[in-house]
A and B are shown apart, each in its own frame.
Chain A
Amino acid sequence: QSVLTQPPSVSAAPGQKVTISCSGSSSNIGHNYVSWYQQLPGTAPKLLIYENNKRPSGIPDRFSGSKSGTSATLGITGLQTGDEADYYCGTWDSSLRAVVFGGGTKLTVL
């Protein structure tokens, strides 16, 4: 059971928009920054979003992040078949004194 809760799967058509939620508590998302990772099949995770809504160099602005209270959301617009991957949220948990991840969300682009 993951500390952060994500939907197991989401799907949308090419060109459409999708959002992935990540729910936590006051000890993690509520007081710390959230990051998001994309993991394509058979590869290492890749940082998409850090500090709630910042994109590393090279990440297109189709990817966005937001946070409100104890929840965070990853948004992806203009979906492409290449976006099919598992997406994970992560943050620091001040009570556990550890990085915690969500269980991951599998994105299918129909």
Chain B
Amino acid sequence: QVQLVQSGAEVKEPGASVKVSCKASGYTFTTYGISWVRQAPGQGLEWMGWISTYSGKPNYAQSLQGRVTVTSDTSTSTAYMELRSLRSDDTAVYYCARGQCSGGSCYSDFWGQGTLVTVPS
């Protein structure tokens, strides 16, 4: 069965960086991309970016451009999201999700359990 298992919760100081991992299993890793979505406490979903695990090419939300990097390691079927220069409003649950994105169709069919990143103010 398809599973995405994310790394554990993190507490980071303002200005630091965080790197969240997402290990996929139950399918051929390079057949689907990986999206990253975050959700601040009590708020809605915010798309952060997507990576084609086949080509390694990423695509980022403009609001996070320059602070976020998404990578993937096909040898371990693991995707990573690094967010730099953390601020208190980056406090959120970060989700990875298996994604399809082509021809105007962009959706995520399996999601990780989420990783809480806390940045104290």
Contact = CB atoms under 8 A, between A and B. Distances in A.
A101 B46 contact: yes
| B interface, over-half SS | strand
A2 B39 CA distance: 13
Contacts, number: 70
A51 B45 CA distance: 19
Given A33-B104, A97-B59, A47 B113 contact: no
A101 B47 contact: yes
Contact of B107 (A44, A90, A97, A102): A90
B14 interface: no
Contacts of A100: 47
B89 to A, nearest CB: 15
Nearest to A105: B44
A45 interface: yes
B16 interface: no
B107 A101 contact: no
Contacts of A101: 44-47
Interface string A83-98: 0000010111010111
Nearest to B101: A92
Interface residues of B, number: 25
A98 B47 contact: yes
Interface residues of A, number: 27
Closest 6 CB pairs of A and B: A35-B107, A99-B47, A32-B104, A92-B106, A44-B111, A33-B105
Interface of A: 2, 31-33, 35, 37, 44-47, 50-51, 56, 88, 90-92, 94, 96-104
Interface of B: 35, 37, 44-47, 50, 59, 61-62, 95, 97, 100-101, 104-114
6 contacts: A32-B105, A33-B107, A46-B111, A56-B109, A92-B101, A104-B44
